[in-house]
Structure 1
Amino acid sequence: MGSGDPTPPTPAAHYQYRRTPRNRLWALLFALAWVAAVVGGVYAIKHRNPAFIHLDYTDPASCPAHPAAARALLEALQEKHKGDWSPSQFVQFTGRWLALSAGLALLLGVAFVKLFQHHAAAMTKATVASQVAIPAAMAAVFLLNGQGTAGLVFGGLALLTAWVFSLWRQQIQLATRLLGVSAHGLAANSGIITATVLLNLAALLAVLPLGAFLGFAVMNGSAIPNPEREGRAECVDAQGQEILCCSWQPNSFAQGYTAGAVVLILWVFLLANQVRVFVTSGAIAQWYFAPAGALSATRGTTLRSLKHAMGPSFGSLCLSSLVLTVSQIMRQALEQAQENNRDMNLIQMCLVCLAQCFWSIVEYLTKFATVMMAITGEAFLAAGRHVTDLLLRHFLNAFASTVWFTPLVIQLATFLLSAAWALVSGGSYYLAHRGSALEATPGVNASVLGGAVFLVTFFILSFLGGILLSVLDAVFVCWAIDLDSQTISQPDVYAIFMAVPVPGRVVEQPDGDIAYGAGQQQQGGGAYQPPTVAAV
Structure 2
Amino acid sequence: MASTDDEPNKPSAIYDSSPSEPLLSKPYPSPSIEENQNDLIESEQNNYPQITFNYGPRHFQDLPFMFLFILFVLSTFAFGIFSVAHRNPNSSNVSSFVYDSNTSSCVKESLTSPHPEFYQILTFPSFSNYASSSHLWRDLTWTLVITFVLSVPFVLGLLWLLRHYAKQIVYVSLPFFVVIPIFFNVFWFVACTVSSSCSGAFPLAYRILVLVFIFLIIAIIVWIIVANWHRIGLTVDIIEVASYALARNLGLFGVLPCLTLGLLAYFVPIVVFLVFALHNGKIEPHVSKGSTEGYSCVWKQDSWVPAYYTLAIVTMLWSAAVMVEAQVYVISGTIAQWYFSKDDSTRKRSIRSSLRNAFGPSFGTVCFSGLIIAAVRVVRASVDSARREDAPTGIMNLMLRCCVNALLSAVDFVNKFTINFVAITGEGYCSGAKMTYELLKRNLLSPVFVETVSTRILGGIIFVLSAVYAIVVCAILKAASNLGVDSYLVAVLAWVLLIVVLGFFVHVLENVIDTVYVCYAIDRDRGEVFKQDVHEVYVHLPISRDSRPSLATRTPFV
- TM-score norm. by structure 2 comes to 0.76
Quote the offset at 1:106 in angstroms: 2.2
Alpha-carbon displacement from aligned partner over 1:244-271 (angstroms, at most 9, x marks no partner):
x999664321100000110001111111
Deviates more, 1:270-279 or 1:330-339: 330-339
Deviates more, 1:139-148 or 1:374-383: 139-148
Q: Hey, what does 1:262 align to over in structure 2?
A: 313
What one-letter code is carried by the residue in structure 1 that aligns with 2:93?
Answer: H
* Residues 1:206 and 1:84: Cα distance change in structure 2 (over 3 Å): closer
1:281 aligned onto 2:301: no
1:24 aligned onto 2:63: yes
Maintained 8 Å contact 1:369/1:380: yes
1:40 pairs, out of 79, 87, 94, with 79
2:416 pairs, out of 359, 364, 367, with 367
Equivalent-residue separation in structure 2 for 1:60 and 1:357 (angstroms) = 58
Quote the offset at 1:402 in angstroms: 5.0
Q: Hey, what does 2:503 align to over in structure 1?
A: 462
Matches within 5 A, 1:204-283: 204-221=264-281, 233=290, 250-283=301-334
What one-letter code is carried by the residue in structure 1 that aligns with 2:262?
Answer: A
Maintained 8 Å contact 1:498/1:521: no
Equivalent-residue separation in structure 2 for 1:200 and 1:45 (angstroms) = 26
1:117 aligned onto 2:163: yes
Alpha-carbon displacement from aligned partner over 1:341-385 (angstroms, at most 9, x marks no partner):
531221012112211221222122112111110000101111111
Equivalent-residue separation in structure 1 for 2:250 and 2:451 (angstroms) = 23
Maintained 8 Å contact 2:143/2:494: no
Residue 78 of structure 1 aligns to a residue whose secondary structure is coil
Q: What fraction of aligned residue pairs are identical, expressed as a percent?
A: 23
Maintained 8 Å contact 2:94/2:298: no
Quote the offset at 1:468 in angstroms: 0.6
Equivalent-residue separation in structure 1 for 2:439 and 2:390 (angstroms) = 40
Equivalent-residue separation in structure 2 for 1:154 and 1:210 (angstroms) = 42
1:337 aligned onto 2:386: yes
* Residues 1:232 and 1:127: Cα distance change in structure 2 (over 3 Å): farther
Quote the offset at 1:86 in angstroms: 5.3
What one-letter code is carried by the residue in structure 2 that aligns with 1:342?
Answer: A
Residue 489 of structure 1 aligns to a residue whose secondary structure is coil
Residue 53 of structure 1 aligns to a residue whose secondary structure is coil
1:178 aligned onto 2:238: yes
Q: Which runs of 5+ in 2 are unaligned?
A: 1-49, 101-105, 194-203
Q: Hey, what does 2:125 align to over in structure 1?
A: 78
Equivalent-residue separation in structure 1 for 2:519 and 2:148 (angstroms) = 36
Aligned residues: 478
Quote the offset at 1:56 in angstroms: 5.2
What one-letter code is carried by the residue in structure 2 that aligns with 1:40?
Answer: F
Q: Hey, what does 1:439 align to over in structure 2?
A: none
Equivalent-residue separation in structure 2 for 1:451 and 1:151 (angstroms) = 20
Quote the offset at 1:53 in angstroms: 2.9
Residue 123 of structure 1 aligns to a residue whose secondary structure is helix
Quote the offset at 1:292 in angstroms: 2.8
Maintained 8 Å contact 1:52/1:222: yes
What one-letter code is carried by the residue in structure 1 that aligns with 2:458?
Answer: I
Residue 344 of structure 1 aligns to a residue whose secondary structure is coil
1:403 aligned onto 2:463: no
Please tell me the root mean square deviation across aligned C-alpha atoms, in Å.
3.7
Equivalent-residue separation in structure 1 for 2:365 and 2:518 (angstroms) = 19
* Residues 1:40 and 1:139: Cα distance change in structure 2 (over 3 Å): closer
Equivalent-residue separation in structure 2 for 1:110 and 1:56 (angstroms) = 57
Matches within 5 A, 1:335-484: 335-392=384-441, 394-434=442-482, 442-484=483-525
1:199 pairs, out of 219, 241, 259, with 259
Maintained 8 Å contact 2:94/2:299: no
Maintained 8 Å contact 1:278/1:309: yes
Quote the offset at 1:87 in angstroms: 4.7
Maintained 8 Å contact 2:51/2:522: no
Quote the offset at 1:476 in angstroms: 1.1
* Residues 1:432 and 1:225: Cα distance change in structure 2 (over 3 Å): farther
Equivalent-residue separation in structure 1 for 2:378 and 2:473 (angstroms) = 39
1:105 pairs, out of 138, 144, 151, with 151
Equivalent-residue separation in structure 1 for 2:151 and 2:61 (angstroms) = 41
Q: Relative contact order, CA 8 A, sep 6+: which one is greater?
A: 2
Maintained 8 Å contact 1:390/1:480: yes
- TM-score norm. by structure 1 comes to 0.78
Q: Hey, what does 1:240 align to over in structure 2?
A: none
Residue 114 of structure 1 aligns to a residue whose secondary structure is helix
Matches within 5 A, 1:492-511: 492-503=533-544
Quote the offset at 1:519 in angstroms: 9.4
Equivalent-residue separation in structure 1 for 2:516 and 2:131 (angstroms) = 50
Alpha-carbon displacement from aligned partner over 1:454-507 (angstroms, at most 9, x marks no partner):
232122111111111111111111111122222222121112112211059xxx
Deviates more, 1:320-329 or 1:162-171: 162-171
Alpha-carbon displacement from aligned partner over 1:296-337 (angstroms, at most 9, x marks no partner):
x62222112111112111111111111222222222332333
**Structure number, greater radius of gyration:** 2
Residue 52 of structure 1 aligns to a residue whose secondary structure is coil
Q: Hey, what does 1:165 align to over in structure 2?
A: 225
Quote the offset at 1:76 in angstroms: 6.2
1:292 aligned onto 2:331: no
Alpha-carbon displacement from aligned partner over 1:390-409 (angstroms, at most 9, x marks no partner):
121x2233431453011112
Alpha-carbon displacement from aligned partner over 1:174-199 (angstroms, at most 9, x marks no partner):
22112112211110111111121121
Q: Hey, what does 1:511 align to over in structure 2?
A: none
